[in-house]
C-alpha cells in the first residue's frame, strides 16, 4: 500500500501546496461532480482553465458584488425571517450564499420565484453531497445515482437555458460570470459539455457551501465571544473591520476542509528535509497548521478577533490553501486582509463579513428554547440546526 505522509507545520504545508509534483486528490471519491473541475485539474490543463477564470475573479468583480449586488440580496433574503422573529442559520446560510454563487457561476433564475430558488437550492445540496461523498455516512452508490440524475435534471432546467441566453446576447452584454467566461473560451479550452456542466455545478457548491458554513460558524463564535465580552456587542453590528477579523479567525479555526490532500507524481523533498516517496498520499493537517502556538500564540486553539499574526502568515492561516489551487474566491468571500491603515470606503471586507454583520444588525441571538445541533449525516463537524432569534430584544 502507498505511504501516507502527514504534514502539520505551516512551512511544510505551504511548500507542499506549491509543489508541482503533488497532485490534488481530495475529491477522488467525489468524481461524480468533481471530475476535471478546476480544483481537480493539474499542470497545463489547470493553468489554462485558471487563466481564463482569473479574468472574472478581479477586484472590479468583487467590488460589484460586495458594494452593489450582495447587500440588496442579503437584505431581501433575511427580511422575512426578521418579521418572523426567528430563523435556522444553517439553511439561511445556504440560501444566502446560493444567491451569490448563482450570480458568480452564471446560473439564471428567469422566473425569480421562491419555488424556482427552492429547486436550485435542492440541486446545489445534491452537488455538495456529491463533492463530499468521501465523508458520507450513507450508502454511497445509491447517493451517486441520485446525484448523477440531479446533474442532468439541473442541466435541463437551469444550465441549458442559461447557456442559450448567453449565446443569444451580444458579447458586450453578456453577464460577468463563470459560465459566460467558459463559453467564450470553449474552443480554446476544448471543454466538453459534460465537463462544463460539472465546472458550473462545482462553482455553485464551492462558493456557496464554504461561505455558508463560515457564516454559521462565525455567528456561533461571535455569540460566544460577545457572551464573554459584552462590550463588543455593538461592534458586531456596526464595525465591519471587527466582523472581518471575526470571520478570519473563524476560517482559521474551522477550515472548510480540515485536511488538504495530494498524491505524489514523483519523489518530493520539502525544504524542511521531509521526504515524500512517489505514489504517496500527502495529508495536510490544516487544523494543526492553523492552531500552531508558535505562529498563533499559546491560546491558538481559542477564538480571539484581536489576535496578532507574524509577518507572512495570513490571519486565516492556510484555510484558503496556497500555490496553484489557492482559492480563487478568497477575496470575494473574506475580503482583503487589512493592513495597518484601512480606508473603509475602498476596503473589501468580503461577502461573509457583510452577511454576518447584517445578522448582528438584525439582532441575532441564541434561542434559549432550541439549542443548536450537529449534523449527524456526515463525519465532518457541521452544524445541522442552529435556531436563533431575530428582531426586537424580547
Q: Which stretch binds ligand HEM (CB under 6 A): 121-129, 142-150, 205-213, 289-297?
A: 205-213
Residue 328 in the binding site for ligand HEM (CB under 6 A): yes
Judged by CB under 6 A, the residue of 319, 354, 372, 386 near ligand HEM is: 319
108 and 165 Cβ atoms separated by less than 8 Å: yes
282 and 16 Cβ atoms separated by less than 8 Å: yes
**Beta carbon nearer to ligand HEM, 355 or 389:** 355
Task: List Cβ neighbours of 291 (8 Å cut-off, separation of 6 or more).
Answer: 253, 300, 301
15 and 271 Cβ atoms separated by less than 8 Å: yes
Task: List Cβ neighbours of 287 (8 Å cut-off, separation of 6 or more).
Answer: 255, 258, 259
Residue 327 in the binding site for ligand HEM (CB under 6 A): yes
Q: What is the dihedral of CA 382, 386, 391, 394, to 10 degrees?
A: -140
Q: How far apart are CA 5 and CA 259, in angstroms?
A: 12
Q: Tell me, by CB under 6 A, how many residues bind ligand HEM.
A: 26
Strand, helix or coil at 22? Answer: strand
**Beta carbon nearer to ligand HEM, 162 or 319:** 319
Residue 251 in the binding site for ligand HEM (CB under 6 A): yes
Judged by CB under 6 A, the residue of 70, 242, 320, 360 near ligand HEM is: 320
**Beta carbon nearer to ligand HEM, 246 or 334:** 334
Within a 10 A sphere around the Cβ of 268, how many other Cβ atoms?
A: 21
| Footprint on residues 262-301 left by ligand HEM (CB under 6 A) | none
| Footprint on residues 339-358 left by ligand HEM (CB under 6 A) | 352
**Beta carbon nearer to ligand HEM, 321 or 389:** 321
269 and 15 Cβ atoms separated by less than 8 Å: no
Q: Which three cell numbers stand for residue 224?
A: 460566544
| Footprint on residues 87-126 left by ligand HEM (CB under 6 A) | 104
Residue 243 in the binding site for ligand HEM (CB under 6 A): no
Interface residues with ligand HEM (CB under 6 A) are 24, 26, 38-39, 50, 104, 203, 206-207, 210-211, 214, 251, 256, 260, 319-321, 325, 327-329, 332-334, 352
Amino acid at each position: 500500500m502507498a505511504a501516507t505522509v502527514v504534514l502539520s507545520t505551516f512551512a511544510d504545508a505551504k511548500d507542499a501546496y506549491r509543489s508541482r509534483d503533488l497532485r490534488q486528490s481530495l475529491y477522488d471519491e467525489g468524481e461524480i461532480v468533481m471530475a476535471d473541475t478546476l480544483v481537480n485539474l493539474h499542470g497545463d490543463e489547470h493553468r489554462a482553465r485558471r487563466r481564463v477564470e482569473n479574468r472574472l475573479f478581479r477586484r472590479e468583480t468583487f467590488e460589484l458584488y460586495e458594494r452593489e449586488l450582495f447587500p440588496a440580496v442579503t437584505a431581501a433574503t433575511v427580511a422575512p425571517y426578521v418579521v418572523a422573529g426567528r430563523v435556522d442559520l444553517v439553511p439561511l446560510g445556504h440560501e444566502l450564499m446560493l444567491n451569490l454563487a448563482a450570480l458568480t457561476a452564471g446560473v439564471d433564475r428567469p422566473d425569480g420565484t421562491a419555488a424556482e430558488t427552492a429547486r436550485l437550492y435542492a440541486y446545489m445540496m445534491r452537488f455538495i453531497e456529491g463533492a463530499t461523498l468521501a465523508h458520507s455516512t450513507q450508502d454511497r452508490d445509491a447517493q451517486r445515482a441520485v446525484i448523477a440524475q440531479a446533474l442532468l435534471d439541473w442541466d435541463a432546467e437551469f444550465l441549458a437555458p442559461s447557456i442559450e441566453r448567453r449565446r443569444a446576447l451580444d458579447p458586450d452584454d453578456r453577464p460577468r460570470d463563470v459560465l459566460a467566461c467558459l463559453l467564450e473560451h470553449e474552443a480554446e479550452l476544448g471543454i466538453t459539455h459534460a465537463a462544463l456542466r460539472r465546472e458550473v455545478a462545482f462553482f455553485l457548491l464551492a462558493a456557496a457551501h464554504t461561505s455558508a458554513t463560515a457564516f454559521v460558524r462565525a455567528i456561533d463564535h461571535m455569540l460566544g465571544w460577545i457572551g464573554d465580552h459584552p462590550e463588543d456587542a455593538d461592534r458586531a453590528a456596526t464595525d465591519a473591520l471587527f466582523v472581518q477579523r471575526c470571520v478570519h479567525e473563524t476560517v482559521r479555526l474551522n477550515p472548510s476542509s480540515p485536511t488538504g490532500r495530494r498524491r505524489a507524481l514523483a519523489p518530493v523533498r520539502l525544504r524542511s528535509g521531509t521526504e515524500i516517496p512517489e505514489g504517496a498520499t500527502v495529508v495536510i493537517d490544516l487544523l494543526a497548521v492553523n492552531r500552531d502556538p508558535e505562529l498563533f500564540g499559546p491560546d491558538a486553539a481559542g477564538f480571539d478577533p484581536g489576535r496578532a499574526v507574524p509577518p507572512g502568515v495570513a490571519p486565516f492561516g492556510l484555510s484558503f490553501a496556497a500555490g496553484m489551487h489557492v482559492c480563487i474566491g478568497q477575496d470575494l468571500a473574506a475580503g482583503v486582509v487589512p493592513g495597518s491603515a484601512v480606508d473603509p470606503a475602498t476596503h473589501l471586507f468580503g461577502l461573509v463579513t457583510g452577511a454576518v454583520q447584517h445578522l448582528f444588525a438584525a439582532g441575532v441571538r441564541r434561542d434559549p428554547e432550541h439549542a443548536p445541533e450537529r449534523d449527524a449525516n456526515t463525519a465532518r463537524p457541521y452544524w445541522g440546526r442552529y435556531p436563533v432569534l431575530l428582531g426586537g430584544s424580547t
